[in-house]
């Protein structure tokens, strides 16, 4: 009898452990994947963790997806000739793709070259600014207004009313399920999707 109770308890524990694993909506995962793989000049802003392999320092960063892809390719690039670039491009894209597929919405990328870290502005990105904008009294109203007024057919532009580097506000929006992209014509941020 005790063995049956033990087996039932163990089965229930295993079922809860594996069954309650946080599931990601496939549409949400697809939206993040599309944002990270946008290689156009109207790149999406993406948030990820970058690790400098030389110092082992890590930082959560928001930058255009195109900059991240370029940094990832430059990190593999060993020579400046075109054959090396093509090989590095395909190798980097394959590894980049596998990281994205296996992660949720905040992947981690490791870089060994300082040039790659410069591409994503690792050295100058101020995580304290993200915290500052997260705590602004009007940020909650901005997020609510965007979610209320977003429409797929009419572009919603986010003009930088803080008069600062918009990546920090974009970082906060991303963390709240609002995906943004850069409008290459105006330079303004355009709200591209609402996920939460």
Specify if 8 maps to a domain. Answer: no
pLDDT for the residue numbered 184: 75
pTM value is: 0.77
Specify if 95 maps to a domain. Answer: yes
Is the C-alpha dihedral spanning 101, 107, 112, 118 positive or negative? positive
Specify if 47 maps to a domain. Answer: yes
Specify if 139 maps to a domain. Answer: yes
pLDDT for the residue numbered 117: 95
pLDDT for the residue numbered 163: 56
Specify if 10 maps to a domain. Answer: no
pLDDT digits (tens, 9 = 90+) for 165-193: 788 989 999 899 898 888 877 778 888 88
pLDDT for the residue numbered 41: 78
Specify if 149 maps to a domain. Answer: yes
Specify if 22 maps to a domain. Answer: no
pLDDT for the residue numbered 195: 83
Specify if 18 maps to a domain. Answer: no
pLDDT for the residue numbered 105: 58
pLDDT for the residue numbered 162: 55
Per-residue pLDDT of the chain (196 residues; tens, 9 = 90+): 544 443 334 333 333 333 434 455 677 777 777 888 877 778 888 899 999 999 999 999 999 888 888 887 888 766 555 566 677 777 777 777 777 777 655 688 899 999 999 999 999 999 999 999 999 989 999 999 999 988 888 778 877 655 567 889 899 998 998 988 888 777 788 888 888 6
What is the extent of the structural domain holding 42? 28-194
Structural domains in the chain (count)? 1
């Amino acid at each position: 009898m005790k063995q049956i109770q033990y087996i039932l308890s163990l089965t229930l524990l295993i079922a809860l452990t594996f069954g309650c694993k946080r599931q990601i909506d496939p549409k949400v995962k697809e939206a993040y994947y599309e944002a990270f793989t946008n290689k156009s000049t109207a790149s999406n802003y993406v948030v990820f963790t970058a690790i400098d392999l030389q110092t082992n320092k890590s930082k959560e960063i928001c930058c255009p997806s195109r900059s991240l892809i370029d940094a990832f390719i430059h990190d593999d690039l060993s020579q400046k000739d075109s054959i090396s670039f093509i090989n590095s491009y395909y190798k980097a894209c394959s590894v980049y793709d596998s990281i994205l597929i296996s992660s949720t919405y905040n992947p981690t990328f490791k870089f060994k070259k300082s040039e790659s870290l410069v591409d994503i502005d690792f050295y100058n990105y101020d995580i304290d600014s993200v915290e500052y904008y997260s705590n602004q009294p009007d940020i909650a109203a901005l997020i609510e207004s965007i979610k209320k007024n977003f429409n797929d057919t009419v572009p919603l532009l986010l003009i930088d009313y803080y008069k600062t580097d918009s990546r920090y506000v974009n970082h906060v929006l991303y963390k709240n399920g609002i995906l943004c992209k850069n409008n290459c014509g105006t330079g303004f941020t355009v709200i591209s999707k609402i996920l939460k």
